[in-house]
């Protein structure tokens, strides 16, 4: 069975999607979950891009042990140096350097001749190889590049020390047949191709990312780059979960193995959706809420007689089945801690206490607490930041009636420790809350996007709110889950403001260190 390495780029290409801004704690949480999922390589970020990115890549490189951690760099010395500083303590330091090779990118974006591009790529790979044992080089917009030129530059970077060659379909233009043929062509025509791994990286502009990645695998690619839930630039990247499950279910046909622990798929997908605020479409393959739902009578009848009539993937395979939760409102702190540890959470005493208090509050109000509810509470605590003074919602009250002007009153503790209470009206309850909080956070706030959804099932399910806003010129996304969606909205709003304050504090610290 041929081994295919799964290279996850949720934290780099995925994080580049519009409206996503993860903080370091959240990125670490996702990286730890990707490690549990068994991905071969985690692309943790672009260290030279910002101090926040550098910090996250550095912490992930020190935390993750069972997956290789890499960082993206342009073919420039300062990027490679920054990546080395961020990654050097990783178990197996790996760098991903890239340079565009298509005529349109070379002429208009880089303003360089093909010869100059070859020279820059070779210089960068040679320099990176002095520091890193593992050097991946990417031909950005590789699919739209001239084939003879691709062969020439790839041969040169292999000679310079590259260990993996990635040939992306950066703009999602390829068809599966063409992209597969490109890998076959490169394997057969690049001198030295047997010394390196070939990697596929596909975008989903024409909805072909997964099919193209699989075509590359069938034609000799040893690695595929993908993201959880397919998030990424524009229409996104290839979905990790779709590739992983396809390779497993149709193993008879593809004859490859990925080393993924498929039982962690659902949890990883939910975590990424919750932390990024990117909602999963209900009919999304493998992880959508309807992926295993049989609606029509004929289908239900068939499934009752024999599941295999309409079910090719069992929900249990991807960890979808609800694990019964034995914790209830009478459970003690020790049982709660034990459960949290079994679920893979490693919380400080203070954070565990906070999570326990939230759990007790929820248990008083909700009949049945599910594994998903618990995961939501624990994740919120795990990724919360302790050392930056932030806004805290003490209470919110909304007065609404079809004949009244909606009014919200909120009490908030400011980062300076002052308790402030204000009220404002709006054309609806949500607007009234936003108008009240805007006065309390001292700044101009524009709401760019707002969504609410239920976390688990039933009328008493937790409600999750996601607020994407612009605060004093910066875009930030916040989220929170509460039993009441208006409370969740107020908390998600403040969460977005707080995330901006955390980013500012990281920027401030980095400047002070320099
Ligand atoms: O899509 C792309 O070409 C990329 C490269 C940086 C690998 O993301
Ligand atoms: Zn990409």
pLDDT class for 301, splitting at 50, 70, 90? confident
pLDDT over 70 (residue 208): yes
Ligand nearest to the Cα of 236, by number: 2
> Looking at the chain, which residues constitute the CATH 3.20.20.70 domain(s)?
2-276
pTM for this prediction: 0.88
Where exactly does CATH 3.30.160.270 map onto the chain? 392-513
Q: What is the mean pLDDT of residues 191-211?
A: 98
How far apart are the C-alpha atoms of 389 and 386, rounded to whole Å?
A: 8
Q: Kindly tell me if the per-residue pLDDT of 508 is higher than 80.
A: no
Mean pLDDT of the 450-457 span = 84
Q: Is the CB of 16 under 6 A from ligand 1?
A: no
Residue 498, annotated as binding a ligand: no
- Ligand 1 pocket test, pick from 9, 10, 11, 13 with the greatest ligand atom count within 8 Å of Cβ, gives 13
- The DSSP result for 119-168, as a single string, is HHHHHHHHHHHHH-SEEEEEEETGGGS-HHHHHHHHHHHHHHT-SEEEEE
Poorest-pLDDT segment among 221-225, 230-234, 275-279, 429-433: 275-279
Cβ count near 385 (within 10 Å)? 16
**477 strand-pairing partners:** 468
Q: How many CA atoms lie within 13 A of 112 on its CB side?
A: 16
Instruction: State whether residue 282 is helix, strand or coil.
Output: coil
pLDDT of residue 501: 87
- Which of 161-165, 322-326, 417-421 shows the lowest per-residue confidence on average (mean pLDDT)? 322-326
The alpha carbon of 197 and the centre of ligand 2 are apart by a number of angstroms equal to 18
Residue among 138, 143, 198, 235 to mutate when testing ligand 1 (max atoms within 8 A of CB): 138
Residue 350, number of CB atoms within 10 A of its CB:
11
What pLDDT does 492 receive? 94
Q: Is the per-residue pLDDT at 510 higher than 70?
A: no
CB of 201 closer than 6 angstroms to any ligand 1 atom: yes
pLDDT band at 300 (very low <50, low <70, confident <90, very high): confident
Scan for tokens 């990654």, then name that residue.
Answer: 87
* Ligand 1, atom 5, residue with closest C-alpha: 140
pLDDT at 513 over 50: no
* C-beta of residue 277 within 8 angstroms of C-beta of residue 479: yes
DSSP 296: S
Q: Does ligand 1 have an atom closer than 6 angstroms to the CB of 144?
A: no
Q: Ligand 1 atom closest to Cα of 140?
A: 3
170 lines ligand 1 (CB under 6 A): yes
- Of ligand 1's listed atoms, the one at least distance from the Cα of 166 is 7
Q: Please give the distance, rounded to the nearest whole angstrom, from the Cα atom of residue 25 to the centre of ligand 2.
A: 24
Span 333-338, mean pLDDT?
88
- Per-residue pLDDT of 365-384, as tens digits, reads 777 788 888 888 898 888 87
Max distance between CA atoms of the chain, in angstroms, equals: 77
How would residue 323 be classed by pLDDT, with cut points 50, 70 and 90? low
Q: Considering only the top CATH level, what class is 2-276?
A: alpha beta
Distance 232 CA to ligand 1 centre (A): 10
Regarding the beta carbon of 339 and ligand 1, being less than 6 Å apart is answered: no
Number of the ligand 1 atom closest to the C-alpha atom of 138: 7
- Closest residue by CA, ligand 1 atom 8: 13
pLDDT tens for 41-97 read: 999 999 999 988 999 999 999 999 999 999 999 999 999 999 999 999 999 999 999
Sequence-ordered strand ranges (E) for 385-431: 392-399, 407-413, 419-425
Rounded to the nearest angstrom, the distance between the alpha carbon of 140 and the centre of ligand 1 is 6
CA–CA separation, 449 and 40 (whole Å): 35
Please give the CATH topology (third level) of the domain spanning 392-513: Double Stranded RNA Binding Domain (3.30.160)
**Placement of tokens 């090779």 in the chain:** 101
Name the band, by pLDDT with cuts 50, 70 and 90, for residue 230.
Answer: very high
DSSP 3-state assignment of 105? Answer: helix
Strand ordering across the sheet containing 392-399: 392-399, 407-413, 419-425
How do residues 458-484 score in pLDDT, each as one tens digit?
888 888 899 999 998 888 888 888 889
């Amino acid at each position: 069975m041929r081994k295919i390495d799964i290279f996850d780029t949720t934290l780099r290409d995925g994080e580049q999607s519009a409206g996503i801004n993860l903080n370091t704690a959240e990125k670490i949480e996702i990286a730890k979950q990707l490690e549990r999922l068994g991905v071969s390589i985690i692309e943790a970020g672009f260290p030279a891009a910002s101090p926040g990115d550098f910090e996250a890549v550095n912490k992930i490189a020190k935390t993750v042990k069972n997956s290789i951690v890499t960082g993206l760099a342009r073919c420039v010395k300062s990027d490679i140096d920054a990546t080395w500083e961020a990654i050097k303590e990783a178990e197996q330091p790996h760098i991903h350097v890239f340079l565009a090779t298509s005529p349109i990118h070379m002429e208009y974006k880089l303003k360089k001749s093909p010869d100059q591009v070859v020279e820059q790529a070779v210089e960068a790979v040679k320099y990176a190889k002095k520091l890193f044992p593992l050097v991946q080089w990417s031909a950005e917009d590789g699919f739209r590049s001239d084939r003879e030129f691709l062969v020439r530059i790839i041969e040169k970077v292999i000679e310079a020390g590259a260990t993996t060659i990635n040939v992306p379909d950066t703009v999602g233009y390829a068809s599966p047949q063409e992209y597969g043929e490109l890998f076959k062509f490169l394997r057969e025509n690049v001198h030295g191709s047997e010394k390196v791994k070939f990697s596929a990286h596909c975008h989903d502009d024409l909805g072909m990312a997964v099919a193209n990645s699989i075509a590359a695998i069938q034609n000799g690619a040893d690695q595929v780059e993908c993201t959880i839930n397919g998030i990424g630039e524009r229409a996104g990247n290839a979905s990790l979960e779709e590739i992983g499950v396809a390779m497993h279910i149709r193993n008879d046909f593809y004859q490859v193995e990925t080393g993924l622990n498929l039982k962690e798929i659902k949890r990883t997908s939910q975590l990424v959706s919750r932390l990024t605020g990117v909602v999963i479409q209900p009919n999304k393959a493998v992880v959508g809420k309807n992926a295993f739902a049989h609606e029509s009578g004929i289908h239900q009848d068939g499934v009752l007689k024999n599941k295999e009539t309409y079910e090719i993937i069992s929900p249990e395979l991807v960890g979808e089945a609800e694990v019964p939760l034995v914790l209830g409102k009478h459970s003690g702190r020790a049982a709660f801690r034990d459960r949290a540890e079994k679920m893979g959470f490693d919380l400080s005493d203070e954070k565990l206490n906070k999570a326990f208090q939230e759990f007790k509050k929820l248990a008083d109000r909700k009949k049945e607490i599910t594994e998903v509810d618990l995961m939501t509470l624990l994740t919120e605590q795990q990724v919360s930041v302790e050392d930056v003074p932030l806004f805290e919602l003490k209470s919110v009250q909304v007065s609404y009636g079809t004949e009244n002007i909606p009014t919200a009153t909120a009490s908030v503790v400011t980062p300076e420790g002052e308790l402030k209470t204000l009220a404002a009206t709006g054309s609806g309850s949500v607007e009234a809350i936003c108008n009240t909080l805007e006065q309390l956070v001292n700044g101009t706030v524009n709401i760019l996007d707002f969504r609410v959804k239920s976390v688990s099932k039933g009328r008493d399910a937790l409600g999750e709110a996601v607020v994407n806003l612009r605060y004093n010129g910066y875009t930030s996304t916040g989220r929170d889950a509460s039993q009441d969606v208006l409370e969740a909205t107020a908390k998600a709003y403040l969460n977005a403001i707080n995330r901006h304050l955390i980013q500012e504090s990281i920027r401030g610290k980095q400047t002070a260190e320099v």
